[in-house]
Structure 1
Amino acid sequence: MKNILITGGAGFIGSNIALRLIDKGFGITVLDNLSPQIHGDHPETTSPLFKSIFDKVKFIKGSVTSKEDWINALENQDAVIHLAAETGTGQSMYEIQKYIDVNIGGTALMLDILANNSHLIKKVIIASSRAIYGEGKYHCIEHGVVYPFERQNSDMKNGDFACKCPICQKNVNLLATSEDSKIHPTSVYGITKQNQEQLVLTVCKSLSIAAVAYRYQNVYGPGQSLSNPYTGILSIFSTRIKNGNDINIFEDGKETRDFVFIDDVVEATILGLENDQANGNVYNVGTGIATDVMTVATTLSKSYTKQTPIHISGNYRLGDIRHNFADISKIKSDLGFEPKWNFERGIQAFTKWVDEQDIPEDKYESSIEEMKTKGLYK
């Protein structure tokens, strides 16, 4: 394989993968709509992500919801890394049609073309998400391994944010979520990622096209959009701090995520592209370490040497999960993947990059107001 199509290739993950593959001698085509939510209002002139790849790839400004754009982009390609998607968990709960059309509809269009048109595609890599696990895997002292249901508004309203055993309703202890864990997303975004993954693995198998699905954890690092108030907690907090605004910590600040640095995500993705051992498999991509949100906020504040007011408000969003961190033993065993960036080192690299950027207007409050009007922010 030498020609690779990356959808969403001007985005955070996509542009980094594109640049790494170019260094390895691949020819890269990018299909991207340059969404203002990610790239700003004048992306061709102001987006650092777009400018980083502009003169290095064949760029097609278009949409994965357009069959014509897909046909144009797929011409003479050997593989597809399909990253293009709407990504905000909270936003997905009220922009439902948009998320379905782009994430599921766009993927279906690609597969329909592969099933019915002539092409050279030998492998498809699909970006899935930890969001498909919902609350993930836990241990109950009475019932062993369990998979909690979505947390109840009535509990969270009273400050009880813990996950419960679905059998006895007692509090449960967090476990690393492995690929064979129950799939039960709690957001429209998670549902669309589950559908994307299933569509690609099922249809590609029937077409004798190799397919790999990656369930990315919370990806961060230099280049992450600072203008998108809907996704990317490190970027959201950084933009708040740099604009002199305080930080509102949801719930009790003890909720956790598995933060994985962009370079490790790029490495994992390319391992799947180049290694036949990955074919037909699903992999978690993370660090296997849970970091709580309060630690994120305080670490960023210290890194920027700002005395930022941090408030643990007890606010919460319906559809948010409590905890998640990945069991990455499968990708280690199959592909030899080993994350090289710990959280402390990654934060240093990220904040150093942020310090060099022109900081955009902080649109976080407007995104919260949107969720309030929809009844999703409490």
Structure 2
Amino acid sequence: MPERILITGGAGFIGASLARRLFEAGHSVRVLDKLLAQVHGDSPQETSPLLRSLDGIADVQVGDVASLDDLRVAIAGIDVVVHLAAETGTGQSMYEIDRYVSTNIGGTAKLLQVLTDEEHSVRRVVVASSRAIYGEGAYRAADGRVVYPPHRDAADMSSGDFEVHLAGYDYPLSVIPTTEDARLHPSSVYGITKQTQEALVLGTAAAIGLEAISLRYQNVYGPGQSLTNPYTGILSIFSTLIRQNEPINVFEDGLESRDFIHISDVVEATFRACVAPALPTLAINVGSGVQTTVLQVVESLLNAFDADVPVTVSGRFRVGDIRHNVADTSMAQALLGFTPKVSFVEGIRDFASWVRTQPIETTLYQRSLDELERRRLLK
């Protein structure tokens, strides 16, 4: 049966693609988005391809999840809410603390307040969580134990030791896929807000009789990703530097790793979470299950663009960054029937092909680094 679906933050990278997937499957889509200039430019109607992509497929309501009035209008007649609206970016969150907390936690609280107080037809809430809530994630010790190391020490990292350590344990730890029942200990303000956001939705929704699903997205990339926002990830940043024939500065030793998942796979997993007949209230990892280092990212992008720019491994690091990340994806397979289809090699080719069609624009990347350094968050 067709569903009436609200996507908060629906004019963003993930939301716009999800809106099209839902529309093409016959569902009715409404979007609530405040069209943040950092994402959409100063004149979104002219400067935001993401916003324009919603023409004819979604009812776009310009508004703020921090506004009870905007939320009341947005949920009218809705069956499923996909709550994507959030400030994103680990580095920026460490100094824009009030803004991240106000939007990510405050906006979620207001959404739940409306769902608690008002008459509505919503039966399910799908909230976008993040791998950031795991902090350093899961590792295996030499004796076979699964352990969850604490945040890395700045003194160790300043001396060039970027690996995680466990107090009283001298043997190296091996990163393993992190399952949904892992310890949650985020190392950034962004991660803290996403953990709280998830807990609010899962706890409150169950209490008021709604189905609730939290999707813990890993590192999402692909066509449509902002190439000017310096907080959207290294693929966009490095791609722009390559096209400008500028050198690439790799933090730490370049062996830090992430679980990169293509936008089309993220959209498919989220689509299934929206339309599945029945789901328990729980959190589900959405990732590729594959570990990719930053140096592998750089090599893949240089190959994809057939480019040769200087690459420096600087040893510098950002406070709040984690060392490694890879998701266990078995729950997504079991509950959503979801298996990622796009390999990193295929995804990079697809991303690079799209990037070539975009104008080369000035980014705020250096300014973002300057902001971090001024606050002693870049070492």
Shorter-chain TM range is: over 0.9
Tell me the residue number matched to 1:257.
Answer: 258
What does the per-residue CA deviation read over 1:31-59, in whole Å, with 9 as the maximum and x for residues that have no partner? 11111111122221121111111332111
Opposite residue 330 of structure 2, the aligned amino acid is S
Q: TM-score, normalised by structure 1?
A: 0.98
In 2, Cα distance between the equivalents of 1:44 and 1:318?
Answer: 36
Residues 1-378 of structure 1 mapped to structure 2, 5 A cutoff: 2-142=3-143, 144-168=145-169, 170-378=171-379
What does the per-residue CA deviation read over 1:200-235, in whole Å, with 9 as the maximum and x for residues that have no partner? 011100111111000000001100011110222111
- What SS is found at the alignment partner of 1:53? coil
Please report how far the alpha carbon of residue 168 of structure 1 lies from its aligned counterpart in structure 2 after TM superposition: 2.1
In 1, Cα distance between the equivalents of 2:376 and 2:342?
Answer: 38
Moved more, 106-115 or 142-151: 142-151
Give the conservation status (yes or no) of the 8 Å contact 1:277–1:334.
no
- What SS is found at the alignment partner of 2:91? helix
Change (3 A) 1:70 1:78: same
Please report how far the alpha carbon of residue 277 of structure 1 lies from its aligned counterpart in structure 2 after TM superposition: 4.4
What does the per-residue CA deviation read over 1:328-366, in whole Å, with 9 as the maximum and x for residues that have no partner? 011111221111000000001100000001122132111
| Matched residue count | 378
Give the conservation status (yes or no) of the 8 Å contact 1:217–1:285.
yes
Residue identity (%): 48
Give the conservation status (yes or no) of the 8 Å contact 2:226–2:232.
no
Give the conservation status (yes or no) of the 8 Å contact 2:50–2:224.
yes
**Structure 1: stretches of 5+ with no match in the other structure:** none
Give the conservation status (yes or no) of the 8 Å contact 1:39–1:227.
no
In 1, Cα distance between the equivalents of 2:83 and 2:332?
Answer: 19
Opposite residue 327 of structure 2, the aligned amino acid is A
- What SS is found at the alignment partner of 2:82? strand
- What SS is found at the alignment partner of 1:269? helix
**Structure 2: stretches of 5+ with no match in the other structure:** none
In 2, Cα distance between the equivalents of 1:14 and 1:320?
Answer: 25
Give the conservation status (yes or no) of the 8 Å contact 1:130–1:215.
yes
In 2, Cα distance between the equivalents of 1:145 and 1:2?
Answer: 41
Change (3 A) 1:245 1:362: farther
- What SS is found at the alignment partner of 1:278? coil
In 2, Cα distance between the equivalents of 1:17 and 1:287?
Answer: 18
In 2, Cα distance between the equivalents of 1:299 and 1:21?
Answer: 32
Change (3 A) 1:330 1:24: same
Please report how far the alpha carbon of residue 141 of structure 1 lies from its aligned counterpart in structure 2 after TM superposition: 1.3
- What SS is found at the alignment partner of 1:369? helix
Opposite residue 186 of structure 1, the aligned amino acid is S
In 1, Cα distance between the equivalents of 2:7 and 2:226?
Answer: 18
Please report how far the alpha carbon of residue 169 of structure 1 lies from its aligned counterpart in structure 2 after TM superposition: 5.3
- What SS is found at the alignment partner of 1:180? coil
- What SS is found at the alignment partner of 1:205? helix
In 2, Cα distance between the equivalents of 1:189 and 1:196?
Answer: 10
Give the conservation status (yes or no) of the 8 Å contact 2:248–2:312.
yes
Give the conservation status (yes or no) of the 8 Å contact 1:272–1:279.
no
Give the conservation status (yes or no) of the 8 Å contact 1:5–1:28.
yes
